[in-house]
Amino acid sequence: MRLFEEYEVKATFFACGMALEQNPPLGREINARGHDVCGHGLRWVEQWHLDRDSEKESIHRAVELIEKMTGRRPLGWFTKSGPSLNTREILAEEGFLYDCDGINDDLPYYTEVKGKPWLVVPYAFDSNDGKYWRGAWSNGEQFFSYLKDSFDMLYKEGATHPKMLSIGLHSRVSGRPGRAMAVARFIEYAKGFPRVWFAGRDEIARWWLERCPPK
């Protein structure tokens, strides 16, 4: 939180409703500092194990809790371990704007839900700090190097059309002092280039809907 404040970066927090309920100060702080919040489930379970009614109730309850604890209802959703066949239909019914349940592109895109366009703001696992505990990175220098290479490639491609880089951080991982430095170094590096936008996913979704509407 302090690092984002220092570098004037607004982030998207993927949040489970019950997790925020157990930690009331966190939800208030997310909202007070102007960060975005994205639904990440009611609790830490695989939704695709649930029948449609149970999944709908779970998503609805998550929205209620997240709004209660942060003062802001989530407009986006990211399903733990992937969506079920019913997830996008339920999200549309519950008034969501987009989901992040795609890891197949570097730009938002549209799919269809019941014959209507539906926005996907893709995520990425290769630039996620979870690879520390999976053994892919042993120190912050490796994480920084990968983020820098990812940025450099996308920035070069961005000369002709926009690109989006998703960076996944966990408080229990990159929140550690020796790893937080890698995040700080990357933010400083990327901010050294013109026309780079650090944005929450809600901002990206609205930008895309306004300037690149579905045909």
The domain limits of the chain are: 2-208
2-208 carries CATH number 3.80.30.20: no
Mean pLDDT of 187-201: 97
Q: Quick check: 48 pLDDT over 90?
A: no
The whole-number pLDDT of residue 47 equals 86
| Predicted confidence band of residue 215 (pLDDT cuts 50, 70, 90) | confident
Q: How many degrees, rounded to 5, is the angle at CA 208 between CA 210 and CA 102?
A: 145
Q: Quick check: 151 pLDDT over 90?
A: yes
Rounded to two decimals, what is the model's pTM?
A: 0.95
Q: Quick check: 60 pLDDT over 90?
A: yes
Q: Quick check: 18 pLDDT over 90?
A: yes
Residues 102-131: tens digit of each pLDDT? 999 999 999 999 999 999 999 999 999 999
Return d(Cα 14, Cα 78) in angstroms, integer: 7
| Predicted confidence band of residue 100 (pLDDT cuts 50, 70, 90) | very high
